[in-house]
Amino acid sequence: MTSSRRLFIDIETSSTTDLSKAGVYRYAESEDFQILLFAFSFDGDPVEVIDMKHFEAMPDFLIEALLDPDVIKVAHNAAFERICLSRYFQDLGMLDEHEFLDPGDWQCSMVHAATLGLPLSLDQLSQVLNLERPKLKEGRALIKMFCNGPVENEDPEKWQLFKEYNKRDVEAEIEIEYRLIKFPVRASIWTEYQLDQKINDAGVLVDINLATNALEISETAKESLIKRLQEMTGLENPNSPSQMKEWLLQQNLPTDTLNQKAMKALMEKASPKVREVLALRNQLAMASVKKYEAMLNSACSDGRIRGMFQFYGAIRTGRYSGRIVQLQNLPRNKMPDLKEARSLVADKNIQALEMLYDDIPDTLSQLIRTALIAPDGKDFIVADFSAIEARVLSWLAEEEWRQTVFKENGDIYCETASRMFKVPVVKHGVNGDLRQKGKQAELACIAKGELVLTDKGLVPIEDVRLDHRLWDGENWVTHEGVIEKGIGEVIKYEGLRATKDHVVWIKGSQKPIQFGKAASSGTHLIQTGNGRHPIRLGDNHLSTKALEPEVESLLCPNKVQRMRKYPMARSQSITKRKVKRMPGLFAKTEDPNLARKAINRSQKPMRERKRPRIQKLWCSRDQISFCICDRSRTVSHVFISAAFTTSGNRSNRYKWKLRAGKHSICFSRAKSSKQAQHRLKRVQARVLALFPKCGSQKTRPRIYPRTNHQTSRGLCKTKMQGMETDLSKTRLYDIRNAGPHHRFTVSNKLVHNCGYGGSVGAMKAMGALDFGMKEEELKPLVDSWREANPKIVKYWWAVDAAIKKAIRTKQPVFLKNLVFSYSSGILFIQLPSGRSLAYPKPRIESNEYGTESVTYMGLGLNKKWEMLESYGPKFVENITQAISRDLLMNAMSNCQKYKIVAHVHDEIIVEADPSMNAETVCQKMCELPSWANGLVLNADGYRTPFYCKD
């Protein structure tokens, strides 16, 4: 699209409708909507401002330019200007109602910024680009003053400042274009943007009657629940946490919290009456009808919701993000009688609903999708790609056996198991028992119902939403959604239910391990929180001063204090392969071999010396014999009997020497008052913590024979009882990319999420394996899976090496159908489609583990512009998701002759005539673009009068 004229635009508007809740389409429909100011510039000329509020008319030449397809209109978040100006032309009679200006001659500077990995907001973008004339800081207050309806006693000075604010935005848009002109947006992306705008303009019809009745039924059900609870408990307000806690205390069930996990635990030991009360209150707490409210708030006068999709909302990959109703985040429907339940709500038959369904709030939640309907005489055809990302990854890595499985519609789990165990595996046939192991290797995940710690409280993993932030042991982090992974076998250990191969963090170790191994060895899992009060994990969360009293309440019952992770001093350089800010505090009783009493809980700071250094103070009555392996820094049980040097500490009165910098330790039973001098080499705490292995018959001798004991059975017996020996099957879920460390808290335990490298590559994502090293130098946790998928593993690190080479040499690097290049401070990854991913200001730096990693600037936690870190598998994830996005855009282009009204993830929704069938739409979706030769695609579809999951 070329033109000699470009019209830069920014408008300020006013309406009593809440733009954030209703969206721009409904906002512009309001009766009191008006355009206040119109700032514009042709081709970067000085900006002019039209004061339309004070009756300055829009000149004819400007109206002609807005309607001229040869004039390119440019704005930041251009959809807002286009829709608001459409309303202006509707009022002039130049457009029909619900007719909008053609997006074909509009471009958006926000999209331009997103293609370069830059922030979407004009304010942040101005700061990142360091514009000469950025947005005025007073803008937020001025908008609040003038844009929320009529203004009484208007301040002339404020109004002039508001006009300057409007003008400054256009000046910023012009400067942004000049700054980014070196990297123009591909014409194909503008074509995709125009298709996106047309889909947003079309909108999807909402069943106003169903949504309205659902809200009324929800309110009635809530009142009924409260009334029943009042009758059963005698409480004035049973929805009050304080009143309910007091009532439970009277029932001999004291609790500090009423979150779902606590409620579940209380129900197990409660009487039938109390169980019923808790069940009813749980329904009351779970009642949520915000989606219905969003639908009614945003529905236009013709009953359609428009503007629900944000083009290039995910700047890293170019994928869409949701707006208003957030279709990407709707509850799943599982009811077999969905149509019947929907009819009862549509008829407002509350009595029948109460008779047929025990949980009215849950029923209403499952019906949210069905509020989106096709017009009379039409149906929806819902079609989505099958396992699109797995297919794309296999195609990229040229893992032929996986592509063959997809091409023949085979069982990927059987084939995976066959490759892993090198025997034929047939479902319900030869070696069929191995299929589950192959499935577990593909599907490391968490059992349904396990409670994830979010900023909204404990939420079952299947109900976690994109707007929930998760606790990763250090921060509240964002994520990319829940993934359902079918049905599989799980084990239960220390309160956590997960597949045996899911990766978890254990106490005393700097490396996470598989859940099954942790359970079989009787190792304690790291506990990261207690309800809504998580314990912060991190080396630096403690100062050199002693622990403050208010923090001590978070410690274990016997108040064991480990102080800092490496207290007092260090004998040699500490290990660099530790996880950033991992624990110094655990809400769990420590191994008695590590500590037994509180250590120096005074407020006096401990002096830290550089040399000589010792790692830990041992308790006076708990001597441990050990020997040093100089090369490995580990304790070997084979040589324990040869070690007789012991060390310990006496009472606190002897610690003054330590504080004075005299690093001496004494043997508490020695008769001599002179302390023996010892210099200890570092012994990793994780080795001592994991030394008692379950099932070991070794005897660990001490200095006195009477203290000898068998290592494991006595120590592990209690914990082994916590693991279910019989595997149980349940539905499985995982969470994609939870924060920069790829971890989240479930059942109060720190676990790894689903990130690229998969769960079998979790060590890479967590940093336990150095992600600058060659693959052949690493010892993977799950060798069998990697052996079965060697090309995928090789591809991860080929991408990692190509990116580092491109950054170092500033020359293009070619890897099969990808091109990596560095230009003007931006790393570009050109995809097979020709579109590029962008990573601003890339650098190769030494990370916290002492290895090389790639860093770049991007939007991190809390939407702040900051340095981010990545590595091969993570880059491959971005590439895979980006190519999947390109395939979705290709599918939408193939099907644009049909009326696409919505799309969700890898799924499109079409308003279809009776003559159209789902097979036709699926075939069109799977027509490959020229750049995707050899890729095996498949799509499934179904016909339905209302939106639902088949």
User: For the segment 556-590, what is each residue's pLDDT rounded down to a tens digit?
Assistant: 333 333 333 333 333 343 344 444 444 433 333 33
Q: How many CB atoms lie within 10 A of CB 923?
A: 15
How many Å apart are CA 59 and CA 66, to the nearest integer? 11
Backbone conformation region of residue 563, classed left if phi is above 0, alpha if psi is from -120 to 50, else beta: left
> Would strands 72-75 and 106-108 be described as parallel, antiparallel, or unpaired?
parallel
Please say whether the beta carbons of 37 and 50 come within 8 A. Answer: yes
Residue range 383-410: average pLDDT?
86
Return the structure tokens found at 945: 């009068």
Return the closest-CA partner of residue 664 out of 649, 651, 653. 649
DSSP codes of every residue in 582-647? --S--SSPPPTTT--S----SSSPPP--SSS----PPPTT--------TTT----GGGGGG-----
Task: Please state, as a whole number, how many other Cβ atoms lie within 10 Å of the Cβ of residue 271.
Answer: 11
Contact 413, 435 (CB under 8 A): yes
DSSP E strand boundaries for 448-536: 451-454, 457-460, 470-471, 476-477, 482-493, 496-498, 503-504, 513-514, 529-530, 533-534
| Class of residue 416 by CB neighbours under 10 A (exposed 0-12, middle 13-18, buried 19+) | buried
pLDDT of residue 477: 83
Q: How far is Cα 210 from Cα 292, in angstroms, rounded to an integer? A: 9
Position 486 scores a pLDDT of: 56
Average pLDDT over residues 693-721: 36
Q: Where would I find the beta strands (DSSP E) of 686-840?
A: 699-700, 709-710, 728-735, 743-746, 749-752, 813-815, 818-823, 826-830, 836-840
Domain limits, the chain: 6-185, 206-373
pLDDT computed for residue 100 by the predictor: 97
At 446-490, the pLDDT tens digits run: 787 888 888 877 888 888 887 788 888 777 888 877 766 656 678
Q: What is the DSSP letter of 97?
A: T
Which three-class secondary structure string do you get for 339-364? HHHHHHHHCCCHHHHHHHCCCHHHHH
- The predicted-structure confidence for 488-545, as pLDDT tens digits, reads as follows 678 888 888 888 778 787 876 666 777 877 776 677 788 776 444 444 333 333 333 3
What tokens does 455 get? 């900023």
Q: How many percent of the chain have pLDDT more than 70?
A: 69
Band (634; pLDDT cuts 50, 70, 90): very low
105 compared with 859, residue with greater pLDDT: 105
Residue in this structure with the two tokens 């890595």, named with its chain if needed = 397
DSSP, collapsed to helix, strand or coil, labels residue 40 as: strand
Kindly report the length of the chain. 950
- Convert the pLDDT of each residue in 786-818 to its tens digit: 566 688 888 988 999 999 999 999 999 999 899
- 429 confidence band (pLDDT: 50, 70, 90): low
Tokens 């304690």 label which residue? Answer: 524
**192 and 102 in contact (C-beta within 8 Å)?**
no
C-alpha span between 530 and 550 (Å, rounded): 15
Q: What is the pLDDT of residue 404?
A: 84
Report the pLDDT value the prediction gives residue 855, as an integer from 0 to 100.
94
Query: What CATH superfamily classification does 6-185 receive?
Result: Ribonuclease H-like superfamily/Ribonuclease H (3.30.420.10)
Instruction: Report yes or no: 949 and 332 within 8 Å, Cβ to Cβ.
Output: yes
Q: What pLDDT does residue 766 have?
A: 33
Which among 345-349, 476-480, 830-834 has the top mean pLDDT? 830-834
CA atoms within 13 A on the CB side of 48: 11
Q: Which tokens hold the place of 222?
A: 């809530």
What pLDDT is attached to residue 252? 83
Distances (CA, A) of 46 to 41, 74, 168: 6, 15, 11
Q: Residue 650 corresponds to which tokens in the numbers above?
A: 């006496």
pLDDT over 90 at 835, yes or no: yes
- What type of residue sits at position 741? H
CA 511 to chain centre: 22
Query: Tokens representing 430?
Result: 């030869």
CB neighbours of 306 closer than 8 A, spacing ≥ 6?
23, 25, 26, 200, 201, 202, 203, 298, 300
Q: What rounded mean pLDDT belongs to the chain?
A: 75
The secondary structure element, H or E, covering residue 445 is none
Q: How many CB atoms lie within 10 A of CB 280?
A: 19
Residue 350 and residue 42: Cα distance in Å, rounded?
60
Q: Are 435 and 489 in contact (CB under 8 A)?
A: no
DSSP one-letter code for 537: -
pLDDT classification of 208: cutoffs 50, 70, 90: very high
pLDDT tens-digit profile of 212-268?
999 999 888 888 888 888 888 888 888 888 888 888 888 888 887 777 667 777 887
Q: Is the pLDDT of residue 92 over 90?
A: yes
Q: How far apart are alpha carbons 168 and 174 in whole angstroms?
A: 10
The pTM for the full model equals: 0.66
State the Cα–Cα distance between residues 928 and 934, nearest whole angstrom.
9
Identify which of 799, 778, 794, 803 has the alpha carbon closest to the alpha carbon of residue 854.
803
Instruction: Give me 757's structure tokens.
Output: 């490298």
Residue partners of 944: CB distance under 8 A and separation at least 6: 379, 380, 382, 950
Q: Where are the beta strands (DSSP E) in 223-343?
A: 304-305, 309-310, 321-322
- Mean pLDDT for the stretch of residues 750-756: 69
Q: In the prediction, which pLDDT does 814 show?
A: 96
| Residue scoring higher pLDDT (557 or 320) | 320
